Structure 1
Amino acid sequence: MSTHPELARRLGTVDAVVIGLGSMIGAGVFAAFTPAAQAAGSGLLVGLAVAAFVAYCNATSSAQLAAAYPTSGGTYIYGRERLGPWPGFLAGWGFVVGKTASSAAMAMTFAAYAAPPGWERPVAIAAVVLLVAVNYRGVSRTAGLARIIVAAVLAALTIAVAAVWAGGAASPGDVPGGGLLAHGWYGILQSAGLLFFAFAGYARIATLGEEVKDPRRTIPRTILLALAIAAAVYAIVGVTLLAALGPDGVASTSAPLADAVVAGGWAWAAPVVRVGAALASLGALLALVAGLGRTTLAMAREGDLPHWLAAIHPRFQVPHRAELALGAVICVIIAVADLRGAIAFSSFGVLVYYLVANLAAFTQSGADRRYPKVLQVLGALACVVLVATLPLAAVLVGLVIFAAGAAYRMARLRRRA
């Protein structure tokens, strides 16, 4: 790896935590509770706890691996180093394909809140162009914008929660609904799979490992800290929504927080929630573009993607070709498709990514081992279980996409031979 030009280490602890929070406290906190309530009713709180535990298992694996391999690429690099080129490739491919689709969905979500009718696609494309330009100017600019967005989103969430409880809309007795287990464990696990998607942003810290100061100390600490903050925010919002709307009310609306605010009598706060949702989508998109660029850089360095994508800008110290190429692909997807249903496919790719991370961390020993192996075993098993709860169509599409990636790599290996 030392033969490649390296990225500059400019991110401190606070910057890394903010980028992780920007990925986790994104549009999901404004929308993910609706499908979770449809699957599990008030049992979504159990699903949230399951998702948080699975995320914790996976986060400890990512933290342990990132401390040993503080370079760009995240689980793509960990899989290659610990398990071999093919597992690493499958992890990287799942991340790049799944998160590219997720980036387009985040841009469209932003446009749904911020654009006038009929202008959704142009506004979404403009958002992608703007955030790619921010990333192009350097990771410090990315972290600076992430701080602003995270602060604004947390402020909007605080106002929303205060509106519900202070406005008299909250009824704690409505939280259990018909019972936490009324929809059965399958529904709870399905809600966990949907809510896990919202937690998955902590991996963005690991993918930026080559740009973090003192990575062996900073990365493990920031991953777990960002995850803990995000879990607390999601728990508060989940309880608030159930107390204001009840399980059926949460399941029947596409904007549960806005409806909860209106129910509380603070109608003036509803636009604030919409602005918060738009900013949350931008924050998630900003972190996604940064993480995608670094994983693409790592795959290009190893020849698993075209080598010209491995270039690093001499002034801004970013993988500029990778980010420009990904930005173009995201814009094309926005122009030709509606990706609101892409969350299940993206979850498929993310869960495969973390499955490889858990298996890779399981092989570590000695000074590199920071957490018990049982956490990696539980994390790997949970990834498989949550994949099994995803809609069948998403699983089938995911398998086809992974097969196409494998065929692409085999063709490159044959040409190289």
Structure 2
Amino acid sequence: MAQSDSGRTGSARPGAPQRTAELKRTLGVGDAVVIGLGSMVGAGIFAALGPAARAAGSGLLLGLGIAAVVAYCNATASARLAARYPASGGTYVYGRERLGEFWGYLAGWSFVVGKTSSCAAMALTVGAYVWPEQAHAVAVGAVVVLTVVNYGGVQKSAWLTRAIVAVVLGVLASVVVVSLTSASSDAGRLDVGVSGGVGGVLQAAGLLFFAFAGYARIATLGEEVRDPARAIPRAIPLALGIALVVYAAVAVAVLSVLGSGGLGQATAPLADAVRAAGVPELVPVVRVGAAVAALGSLLALILGVSRTTLAMARDRHLPGALAVVHPRFQVPHRAELAVGAVVVAVVATVDVRGAIGFSSFGVLVYYAIANAAAWTLSSTVVSRVAPVVGLAGCLTLAFALPWVSVVVGVGVLGLGAGVYGVRRRLSRVER
């Protein structure tokens, strides 16, 4: 049941655990936009286009459009909720406050599990581009270094993300210009169809959504943004809009050179595009750009997962020791170290090539709950259109993903729900 609109996460609720020290508000609108871009304009655009093209064929651009519409609805819901509840945790907080404790918990569980998988995928992407023969070792090193950076304070993370975004945007701009101005570019390859079928288009949209989902990072950092009621609703659509323009330009440029068939067979689509465009000397630059992009995504992912872990630990859904905020750096240092340790364990031992699908499933469930929470903010029909479209879109795309991702995702969510039920029963017995 929805809570009162006046409810704030910063205030004590009956029976709720006492709040720990709050984080320091150091981020402005520009910083928040950059962190969102660092999450979105990352390795997804280097890696997701190929699998999406294999699924959708000539419907790739249509799939991108569907993913963008769902992402816009989710962004609108997140912005409205973040302005009302400017605390760390994102939809974990919104679901708890608007729908009830279980839905908040399920959102947090989906986010932490799904995005931890994304962290591992991004780390291994760094390793694959930097030193393929030692990809796991490089991935472990990347996680350790970025965990240390985050430990030093969110402002340092924002500055590093700003530099990474600048490099990645420069590389992507080069790919677009080289591809569109080459003799190999053919506008006829951009014909939109549904050669992969409706199911293929929806599956492509679900896979491409992985690359859009980074704006959640802005909401999960709500406790560290100055004037969040004003800044977050501005930052989220700005970051999403810039990312959409970049993705559309890159997709059109690469398709014009490779076509949907060639793109679907490409293992490194952007590198293959510049090679096909007759500029093979740009391939090493693209490889470096992909590694830098993956680092940017990994940096922002660790930030977001650690903040949701902090919020869940405050409410004792995770060990309370993870709710401690460092007295000097004003960051949830124990949560950051715990997230870093888990990701290191995954990348050191597991092949996570299927992590994109699994991560997309978890994040789509997370946003489905965000849209349901946003639906409760107003009773007017017009204000409820976007949440309804977002909720339906998230569930449709989640179950259109490859069946392995769906089965594993449902199983992990069921495990989380079981843990919640056992914990609730034990707490009642103790009383």
Task: Report the TM-score when normalising by structure 1.
Answer: 0.97
**Secondary structure of the corresponding residue to residue 354 of structure 2:** helix
Query: In 1, Cα distance between the equivalents of 2:403 and 2:263?
Result: 24
Deviation for aligned residue 1:115: 1.4
Partner in structure 2 of residue 73 of structure 1: 89
Partner in structure 1 of residue 162 of structure 2: 147
Which residue among 406, 410, 413 is the counterpart of 1:402?
A: 413
Deviation for aligned residue 1:195: 0.6
Deviation for aligned residue 1:74: 0.1
Which residue among 338, 341, 347 is the counterpart of 1:325?
A: 338
Which residue among 98, 107, 120 is the counterpart of 1:91?
A: 107
Task: Tell me if structure 2 keeps the 8 A contact 1:169–1:260.
Answer: no
Partner in structure 2 of residue 361 of structure 1: 374
Partner in structure 1 of residue 239 of structure 2: 226
Deviation for aligned residue 1:370: 12
Partner in structure 1 of residue 402 of structure 2: 391
Which residue among 164, 168, 186 is the counterpart of 2:199?
A: 186
Partner in structure 2 of residue 120 of structure 1: 135
Task: Tell me if structure 2 keeps the 8 A contact 1:75–1:357.
Answer: yes
- 2:127 maps to 1:111: yes
Deviation for aligned residue 1:371: 7.3
Deviates more, 1:391-400 or 1:267-276: 391-400
Task: Tell me if structure 2 keeps the 8 A contact 1:42–1:242.
Answer: no
Query: In 2, Cα distance between the equivalents of 1:165 and 1:376?
Result: 37
Partner in structure 2 of residue 15 of structure 1: 31
- 2:428 maps to 1:412: no
Task: Tell me if structure 1 keeps the 8 A contact 2:378–2:384.
Answer: no
Which residue among 331, 338, 363 is the counterpart of 2:351?
A: 338
Task: Tell me if structure 2 keeps the 8 A contact 1:60–1:371.
Answer: no
Q: RMSD over aligned Cα, in angstroms? A: 1.4
Deviation for aligned residue 1:174: 1.7
Task: Tell me if structure 2 keeps the 8 A contact 1:76–1:92.
Answer: yes
Query: In 2, Cα distance between the equivalents of 1:307 and 1:288?
Result: 22
**CA separation of 1:370/1:155 partners in 2, compared to 1, >3 Å: closer, same or farther?**
farther
- AA aligned to 2:183 is G
Partner in structure 2 of residue 173 of structure 1: 188
- AA aligned to 2:390 is G
Query: In 1, Cα distance between the equivalents of 2:33 and 2:231?
Result: 10
Aligned length: 412
Query: In 1, Cα distance between the equivalents of 2:256 and 2:156?
Result: 39
- 2:171 maps to 1:156: yes
- 2:273 maps to 1:260: yes
Query: In 1, Cα distance between the equivalents of 2:417 and 2:400?
Result: 24
Task: Tell me if structure 2 keeps the 8 A contact 1:10–1:212.
Answer: yes
Which residue among 283, 291, 297 is the counterpart of 1:284?
A: 297
Task: Tell me if structure 1 keeps the 8 A contact 2:20–2:324.
Answer: no
- AA aligned to 2:395 is V
- AA aligned to 1:266 is V
Partner in structure 2 of residue 32 of structure 1: 48
Task: Tell me if structure 1 keeps the 8 A contact 2:122–2:297.
Answer: yes
Query: In 2, Cα distance between the equivalents of 1:165 and 1:238?
Result: 11
Partner in structure 2 of residue 372 of structure 1: 383
Partner in structure 2 of residue 59 of structure 1: 75
Deviation for aligned residue 1:414: 2.9
Post-superposition Cα deviations, 1:47-103, rounded to whole Å, max 9, x if no partner, equal 101100000001000000000000000000000000000000000000000100110
Query: In 1, Cα distance between the equivalents of 2:403 and 2:260?
Result: 25
Partner in structure 1 of residue 64 of structure 2: 48
Post-superposition Cα deviations, 1:338-386, rounded to whole Å, max 9, x if no partner, equal 00111111111001100000000000138xx997210000000111111
Task: Report the TM-score when normalising by structure 2.
Answer: 0.93
Task: Tell me if structure 1 keeps the 8 A contact 2:28–2:225.
Answer: yes
**Secondary structure of the corresponding residue to residue 303 of structure 1:** coil
Deviation for aligned residue 1:182: 2.5
Partner in structure 1 of residue 362 of structure 2: 349
Post-superposition Cα deviations, 1:128-162, rounded to whole Å, max 9, x if no partner, equal 00000000000000100000000000001111112
Structure 1 stretches lacking a partner, 5+ long: none
Query: In 1, Cα distance between the equivalents of 2:99 and 2:80?
Result: 15
